[in-house]
Structure 1
């Protein structure tokens, strides 16, 4: 697997390439936005690690240009603490966001998660009532409506919860599955991911397809009986103290 590191910090770029090479990846580097776009065309990387603050063409502009023609996984890096920047990157099509400083272990865990999109042995299309998930295209669609693109992490989260329809999945198990490492993310990151996925499902008319929070447990995919009917069986319904509530 070939990974492109796009960062104008030469020292950091070297450290990231060293860590990735030790993990068995082929790591290449670009140091500005224009060079990054040229290397994406010439080298066809499997994943891009993209810094927001780049000379000339910043990371947002690179991502926006990239998404017009390609759908490869992109993880953005930033030193900024402004949540608006993170939301902007995700809205433009970033698959994950990592704030500096970070550990090589966290980076590698997230890289593994992003590269496992549409992994072997998984059904390419899943359905729950009118909701259809196309893993190969990284899309969700309700009925004949327009599809919405899912990031790699959103897709992994939805696939996990769909595999346990009507049953809550422990939050730490979700974190370990989605990010491949329980130390690579925390519950706040999971809450943000759930929020983005809920918003996308609502955008495409998925009022009956909800990601629910189960107090002191985790999250569950359930059908809203008031909207979508009972086509998903209520398997292993949790006791009253653990029943899903919107959070």
Structure 2
């Protein structure tokens, strides 16, 4: 995906209104407020591998002024800077090289670590831990369970998916502790799984041209988007932690 400007364009176009991103961004905000209180806006936040800057833009609207991001893709940086965000080049494999004198209260890293090997993930988490201020949080979202792999994974260049046990190992090696975690979206996991399994079958049968595959990042229309967002709000209210879903959200210290 790093060299695929069209995928970044899709993300940029829908990131602020698509139900999935709205749910993810809301999860990040709730954890920040849980740790630092609802009125503390002075904290410093870094979004590592920030994509087109949707999360940073959302946090800015929530009143957080001290926001920074980095990404490896020139396309992602361009789109982030179009939003007027403080985003520049950075590499998850060399976190120490990004503004080495700066430290942060919150570091987020969403749907990016899958590009790295196990050793590189551990090294990245170790470097991120060193950049956290006392009492700081690391918030990670990542693709979960191989059963959910489909054409989206092909389009974004994802070669694998993860489970909580993987990050227990990475976190322990990096000197971090997982405070809480959940898989999501649990309430939508059955239909998502059915679609992805069908996609896997088509890929195995060679019925899909992998050179022309698009990601799932598209806006389904106001009615369906509102319905899915409503389902997610109910899930977020009813379940603090779910056992299954296509994504894994982790809070680490």
TM-score by length of 1: 0.31
Bigger relative CO (Cα 8 Å, ≥ 6 apart): 2
Greater share of residues in helix: 2
TM-score by length of 2: 0.30
Greater share of residues in strand: 1
Look at both structures and tell me which one has the larger radius of gyration over its CA atoms: 1
